[in-house]
Amino acid sequence: MRNRFEEQLEKLNNTLIEMGGLIEAKIADATKALINQDVLTAQHIIDGDNEVDDMEKEIESLCLKIIMQQQPVAGDLRLVSSILRIITDLERIGDHAVDISELTILLAGKKYIKKLEHIPQMATATMKMLTDSIDAYVRKDIELAKQVIAYDDVVDDLFDQVKAELISIIKENADNGDQAIDLIMIAKYFERIGDHATNVAEWVIFSLTGWHKDSKII
């Protein structure tokens, strides 16, 4: 029975890692599409949103099978329940990649009102957070998960810079208002991606310790 559980858990881990890799690629592609005003790549990300949704459903199904067939307790149950939480955040990150791509298409053909500097930096930072949070899960590394949580401050600071710069541009010329608001929204989506990566790291810690910022469950 335990061997069967280990096999199911290995499949679950591999699928979760695959989902994380898929979403990392989507964020990277969405960022490139934004910088290069690449409508085709942006549309490809939008059209491929079902990939992430389907993978979430597959992992959810695997988790429920394990719960029903193996009736895990203590640490095993914590792990499976944490994975169910993690995939929710991963799916939402995928949604934000789509949100960014939709705005990229909306802005296509228009010269950007400012050089995109801090938004790509936000993208790089959030991809690091996502990669490290998945690595923390794979390696069962609490310290790495804590580093992810702390790194969210970097993303928040970059968002504040983007927002301040764009608000200043609007004040100088109201005609830039529409695009400035769209760029602020894009920055906000990256900021939310950082928040979801933070959530993943928090659930990694919970899976290993039973402690979560909102509760403590042994």
Percent pLDDT > 90 in the chain is 83
Per-residue confidence (pLDDT) for residue 188, from 0 to 100: 98
Q: Is the pLDDT of residue 217 over 60?
A: no
Radius of gyration of the chain (CA): 19
Residue 185 CA to chain centroid, in angstroms?
A: 16
Helix (H), strand (E) at residue 18:
helix 2-36
The pLDDT value given to residue 73: 78
Is pLDDT at 44 greater than 70 in this prediction? yes
Q: How far apart are CA 25 and CA 70, in angstroms?
A: 34
Average pLDDT, the chain: 93
Give the pLDDT confidence of 94-142 residue by residue, as tens digits.
999 999 999 999 999 899 999 899 999 999 999 999 999 999 999 999 9
Tell me how far apart the alpha carbons of residues 32 and 123 are, in angstroms, rounded to a whole number. 10
Q: What pLDDT score does 70 carry?
A: 84
Residue 133: per-residue pLDDT: 97
Mean of pLDDT values over 32-37: 97
pLDDT band at residue 218 using 50, 70 and 90 as cut-offs: very low
pLDDT, mean of residues 157-180 = 96
Q: What does the alpha-carbon distance between residue 100 and residue 42 come to, in Å, rounded to a whole number?
A: 8
In tens, the pLDDT along 61-102 reads 999 999 998 887 788 889 999 999 999 999 999 999 999 999
Q: What is the mean pLDDT of residues 52-57?
A: 95
The answer as to CATH 1.20.58.220 being correct for domain 2-216 is yes
Calpha distance 91→68 (Å, rounded): 24
Nearest to 144 by CA among 82, 210, 205: 205
pLDDT exceeds cutoff 70 at 210: yes
Instruction: State mean pLDDT over 138-165.
Output: 97
Q: What is the mean pLDDT of residues 181-205?
A: 97
- Say if residue 202's pLDDT is above 90: yes
pLDDT beyond 50 at 48: yes
Q: Among 105, 114, 103, which Cα is nearest to 173's?
A: 114
CA distance 40 to 63: 36
